[in-house]
Structures are given as structure tokens and as C-alpha cells.
Amino acid sequence: MAGRVVYFNGRFVPEAEARVSIFDSALMYGDMAFEMTRTYGHRPFRLREHLDRLYGSLRLLEIDCGLSIEAMERVTLETLERNLATEPADMDWQIMHDVSRGPLELYRTAFPGGIGPTVSINCWPLVTHMGRFAPNYRSGVHLMIPAQQAVPAHLVDPKAKTRSRLHYQLANLQAGRAGAGRWPVLLDPDGFLAEGPGWNIFLVRDGVLVTPEPRNILLGVSRNATMEYARGLGIPVREANATRRCGPTRSSARPRPTRSCMPRRSRGNASATADRDRCFAACSRRGRPPPASTSSPRPRATPRAWMNGSAGRRPRPRAREPGATSVPPSGRIGSDGAS
Ligand SMILES: Cc1ncc(COP(=O)(O)O)c(C=O)c1O
């Protein structure tokens, strides 16, 4: 069976031949945009939304990748198609777009054929990321708040998905030092919950699904989908500033029976609030999309004053719900935001 191929600057080449120059601006500055789209049953999940975000990132970076978004979509589907036969039919895929400015002008003489943007699309079997992650759906994940902060929008626009990710990597390292299997949730410089290194975060509080307001975070495709699905189910959704007091709590909660792409938290080291709180990480590479559910809507509830950091009285902690577990996951597979 032939091996996987990569779309690389207009050609399909074997994976091993898809190489980026040491003079590429991506290597010099982290100056590139990327996207990761997963498939469900070989169908890319919200590919067009991912590509819209990719082209938004490219606009910010002032990179012209030389392909229209329609052409990028076509060539993405072709790349997937060309790789499907390399794995069993039930394999799902991670589709990665990487676009950089290309080699720096300074090194032009090393490229007699000329320089231009480096555009690649690769497909990788998703089981590599998802396989060991699966137990987290039951056990939850152990969240922690690292010293490393999110980069605020007034410094670098976080809505662009770029490889300039050192702050995420430092957060991962700090989480790793705090204990095996910890997932870091970064605060923004104002002390509000922002996001993880590769995922957005949701809290459930009194029947309201709350997620950090979009200022200092990447607008995840799964975040959009999650809010859409929730609204479709009649669950109130609120984008708000949430402080660490509202975030990951010490105690655990039994997960809602959901088949969405969100592992729940099992533990966290932020100051405790109410153990009714539930906290989810949303990332499109994980889990299954929610079913087109007909289940009855959850009852509406009034959001409490804890939003916008103005929480006054803290709700009294309740005993842990039966069946709740606090077993941390064995690893942070696929949580690092780089893959
Ligand atoms: C920093 C960050 N936030 C959030 C996300 C989630 O985005 P999406 O749902 O589009 O995968 C990612 C994905 O890589 C990310 O890197």
C-alpha cells in the first residue's frame, strides 16, 4: 500500500519529502498560520469555518498563499481522499493546514527557483491523538492555572491561529511540573479565564453555559459549534469574564450524559467555588459531535453575579455527587495546541 502524501506547494509528495527550509520565516519568527480540522466518518468537521479562520489569520499576517479559499477547500478534500486508503476504512483523520510566508528575502540567493509562501496540507490518523485520550471522557481532566498568562489582544491578536505559541508551550511545561496529566488554563493579564493551549473552555453554572468572552482567546470552531448546539437545545449561553474563582473548582461533578466533543474537568487548583460548577474544554479534535438531539431543554436559570468578576457571596460547597471521580487522566494527549 502506498504511504501517505502531503500537498506541498502545489504538488502531492510523500510525507518524508515535505520539508520546510531552515530559512523559512516560520522558523525565524513563528510567522505562519495553521489550522487543524478533524473528520467524522471521513467528513471534515466544519472545514469551511476552519478555512475562513485560516484566511483571516493570513490576512493579519499579510501572507498571500496563492490559492483562493475555494481552491484550498478542493485541494484539502483531494489530500484527504488520496490518504484514505492508507488506513482502515473506519479511521478518522486530522487534517493540518500550514501556511508560512516562505523563506526570508535575505536568503533569496539560496533559492535559485525563487521564493514564495510555503503551503502544506497533511493528513494524520486521528487515533494517534485520540486513542489514549478516550478515558478522559469518563475520568475528566485535571485542570490547573499556570503562572504563564495568555497574550492579550492589544499585543498580538489571538484570533489568528499562528505557530507563535511559546506562551502555550510554557503553560504546558508549568502544568507538567505541577503533576502528570494536568491541563493548563491560562488567565489573561486582567485575571480572567482565557483558554487552554489548544482548546476553549466552558463552565456550566446554574444551568447556564458560560465561556470566556472573545477578547483574549482564539475563537474555536468547536466553541462556536458548542454554543450553537447549546442554544439549539434551549440551554442559555453566556460569553462573560470569569475570574479564577469561577473557574476550575476543587470538587468534581458528574458529567452530563453528552456525546459532545468536550471532556469535563475532574479537578482543578483554582480557588473553590461551588461544586455544581462544571468546566469543559472544547476542541474539535476530540470526541464526537453532539447528535441532532431532541432531548428536552434544560431549565433556564439566571446567571449569577460571579460573572464579570463581581461575585459577591460564594455559594456553599455541596458534597461531591455520587459517582464523581477525581482520577486524573494519564496524559494530555492532543491538548498541547501544537499538533
Ligand atoms: C489556543 C487555542 N484555543 C482554542 C482552540 C480550539 O479551536 P478549534 O475548536 O477551532 O479547534 C485551539 C485549537 O487549536 C487553540 O490552539
Residue closest via CA to ligand 1's atom 3 equals: 199
- What residue segments make up the domains of the chain, in order of their start? 5-125, 132-309
62-88 pLDDT, tens per residue? Answer: 999 999 999 999 999 999 999 999 999
Atom of ligand 1 nearest to the CA of 285: 11
Which pTM does this prediction carry?
Answer: 0.79
CA of 320 to the centre of ligand 1 (A): 31
152 near 52, Cβ under 8 Å?
no
136-182 pLDDT, tens per residue? Answer: 888 899 999 999 999 999 999 999 999 999 999 999 999 999 999 99
Q: Decide whether any atom of ligand 1 lies within 6 Å of the 223 Cβ.
A: yes
| Spatial separation of the C-alpha atoms in residues 197 and 299, rounded to whole Å | 32
Q: What is the pLDDT of residue 132?
A: 82
Q: What is the pLDDT of residue 68?
A: 98
Is domain 132-309 given the CATH code 3.20.10.10 in the classification?
yes
Residue closest via CA to ligand 1's atom 2 equals: 198
Phi, psi of 177 (to 5 degrees): -70, -30
3-class secondary structure per residue, the chain = CCCCEEEECCEEEEHHHCCCCCCEHHHHHCCEEEEEEEEECCEECCHHHHHHHHHHHHHHHCCCCCCCHHHHHHHHHHHHHHHHCCCCCCCCEEEEEEEECCECHHHHHHCCCCCCCEEEEEEEECHHHHHHHCCHHHHCEEEECCCCCCCCCCCCCCCCCECCCHHHHHHHHHHHHHCCCEEECEECCCCEEEEECCEEEEEEECCEEEEECHHHCCCCHHHHHHHHHHHHCCCCEEEECCEHHHCCCCCCCCCCCCCCCCCEEEEECCCCCCCCCEEEEECCCCCCCCCCCCCCCCCCCCCCCCHHHCCCCCCCCCCCCCCCCCCCCCCCCCCCCCC
CATH (residue range 5-125)? 3.30.470.10
227 near 209, Cβ under 8 Å?
yes
CA of 338 to the centre of ligand 1 (A): 10
| Spatial separation of the C-alpha atoms in residues 238 and 16, rounded to whole Å | 46
115-135 pLDDT, tens per residue? Answer: 999 999 999 999 987 888 888
| Spatial separation of the C-alpha atoms in residues 339 and 335, rounded to whole Å | 8
Atom of ligand 1 nearest to the CA of 161: 16
Share of the chain above pLDDT 70, in %: 72
Q: Decide whether any atom of ligand 1 lies within 6 Å of the 337 Cβ.
A: yes
CA of 59 to the centre of ligand 1 (A): 18
Q: What is the pLDDT of residue 267?
A: 57
Q: Decide whether any atom of ligand 1 lies within 6 Å of the 140 Cβ.
A: no
Q: Decide whether any atom of ligand 1 lies within 6 Å of the 236 Cβ.
A: no
Task: Tell whether the model's pLDDT for residue 325 goes beyond 90.
Answer: no
Q: Decide whether any atom of ligand 1 lies within 6 Å of the 277 Cβ.
A: no
Q: Decide whether any atom of ligand 1 lies within 6 Å of the 172 Cβ.
A: no
181 near 335, Cβ under 8 Å?
no
Phi, psi of 211 (to 5 degrees): -140, 145
| Spatial separation of the C-alpha atoms in residues 73 and 326, rounded to whole Å | 42
Fold match, 5-125 / 132-309: no
CB-side exposure of 211: number of CA atoms within 13 Å? Answer: 27
